[in-house]
Amino acid sequence: MTASPDGRLDPQYEAEPAAEGTTTESETTRLARETLAKATTHLLGLQDETGWWKGNLETNVTMDAEDLLLRQFLGIRTEEQTRATADWIRSQQGEDGTWATFYGGPSELSTTVEAYVALKLAGDDPEAPHMKRASRWIREQGGIAATRVFTRIWLALFGWWPWERLPELPPEVIFLPRNFPLNIYSFGCWARQTIVPLTVVSAHRPVRPAPFALDELHTDPANPYRPRPSAPAYTWDGFFHRLDKALHYYHKMPVKALRRLALQQAARWIVERQEADGCWGGIQPPAVYSLIALHLLGYDMDHPVMKAGLNAFDRFTVHTDEGHRWIEACQSPVWDTCLALTALADAGLPADHEALVRATDWLLGEEVLRRGDWAVQRPGLPAGGWAFEFDNDNYPDIDDTAEVVLALRRVAHPEPGKVAGATRRGIDWVLGMQSKNGAWAAFDVDNTSTLPNKLPFCDFGEVVDPPSADVTAHVVEMLAADGKAGDPRTRRGIDWLLKEQEQDGSWFGRWGTNYVYGVGSVVPALVAAGLPTEHRSVRRAVAWLEEKQNADGGWGEDMRSYQDKSWAGRGTSTASQTAWALMALLAAGESGEVVDRGVRWLAETQLPEGTWDEPEFTGTGFPWDFSINYNLYRLVFPVTALGRYLHGTPHLTPSELDLDARAVLPLPTGGASDAPAPRRLLPSLAGRRLR
Active-site residue numbers?
399
**Chain-centre distance for alpha carbon 161:** 31
Which phi and psi (to 5°) does residue 470 adopt?
-65, -45
Residue 457's nearest CA partner among 161, 191, 181 is: 191
* Helix-, strand-, coil-residue percentages of the chain, each rounded to 5: 50, 5, 45
Instruction: Please report the sign of the dihedral spanned by the C-alpha atoms of residue 563, residue 566, residue 567, residue 569.
Output: positive
Phi-psi region of 635 (alpha: psi -120 to 50; beta: other; left: phi over 0): alpha
Kindly report the number of other CB atoms within 10 A of residue 296's CB atom. 18
β-strand partners of 319: 325
Residue 229's nearest CA partner among 163, 145, 109 is: 145
Q: How far apart are CA 150 and CA 110, in angstroms?
A: 9
Q: In angstroms, what is the C-alpha Rg of the chain?
A: 26
Q: How far apart are CA 129 and CA 109, in angstroms?
A: 18
Q: Which residues contact 635 (CB under 8 A, 6 or more apart)?
A: 39, 42, 43, 46, 55, 343, 575, 610, 611, 612
Burial class for 49, CB neighbours closer than 10 Å (0-12, 13-18, 19+):
exposed
Q: Is 581 within 8 Å of 555 (Cβ atoms)?
A: yes
Q: Is 344 within 8 Å of 46 (Cβ atoms)?
A: no
